[in-house]
Amino acid sequence: MVENISSKMVKARKKYRCMFSGKTINIGDEHICQVNKDGGEIYTFRIHKEAEYLAEELDLYGKGTYNDGFQDDDYEQLLQDYIYDNDLFDEYDNFDGSSHDFVYKHYTSKAKEVEK
């Protein structure tokens, strides 16, 4: 079981890779930095704020599927499931960008409509 030791918002002092989306976290970008422990291993986990937002909104943590860790392909599968579950294939096929960017744009625009 993965144990979270600390989690905070930080500014990148060098380039990192978002461990959810795989996109670059550039120098100066605010992102979430977690220190986790899995068994006897301690490691740092870094993700974009947007990736964390999507993970929470799409109930990644509530599903309990990833209690023992998160693999690189899991986030992509979550995004593909969202596209499938919401019948967004045609819209996604015409989108010039990553599945992360597409789902984030779609989800946040949907959330803004609800707020109106």
The one-digit pLDDT tens for each residue of the chain (116 residues) are: 778 899 899 999 999 998 887 789 999 999 999 998 888 899 998 988 877 777 777 666 655 445 455 566 777 787 888 888 889 889 999 998 888 788 878 877 765 564 55
pTM, full prediction = 0.64
CA 76, CA 55: separation in Å to the nearest integer? 11
Domain that holds residue 79: 2-115
The structural domain count of the chain equals 1
Q: Which tokens sit at 16?
A: 């990192």
Q: Which residues pair with 32 in a beta bridge?
A: 9, 47
- The helix or strand, by DSSP H or E, that contains position 73, with its residue range, turns out to be helix 72-85
